[in-house]
Amino acid sequence: MSVDAFVEARPSASVGPIVDGAVSVSNYLTVSAVADYLNVSKMTVYRLVHSGEMPAARFGRSVRIDEADMEEYRQRAAVVIHPES
């Protein structure tokens, strides 16, 4: 499933536009949404953020991860399995 399809299927995954500001943060995902997409626990996502492996931003007390940063991490962390011949 692509990130766009995931966000469309789970509308609460994105933060949405800021009403009084000019900046839209709709491409930022919640920790819970990232955990669901990567099929890991929320604690694992927090550990990745804390270790610096996955960049994140704070909006008030909330931690948000940019879709592009999550996708970049997913590609870096992917394990390719070659079947034996």
Q: Which fold has domain 3-77?
A: Arc Repressor Mutant, subunit A (1.10.10)
pLDDT of residue 85: 61
Six-digit token pair at 39? 């099929």
Is 53 strand, coil or helix?
coil
Six-digit token pair at 43? 């604690």
Mean local confidence (pLDDT), 10-25: 49
Condensed to tens digits (0 to 9), the pLDDT of residues 37-85 reads 999 999 999 999 999 999 999 989 999 999 999 999 999 988 888 887 6
DSSP letter assigned to residue 74:
H
Residue 33 has pLDDT above 50, yes or no: yes
Per-residue confidence band for 22, with pLDDT thresholds at 50, 70 and 90: very low
Query: d(Cα 60, Cα 28) in Å, to the nearest integer?
Result: 14
Query: d(Cα 84, Cα 63) in Å, to the nearest integer?
Result: 42
Query: d(Cα 2, Cα 18) in Å, to the nearest integer?
Result: 25
What are the residue boundaries of the structural domains of the chain, listed by start? 3-77
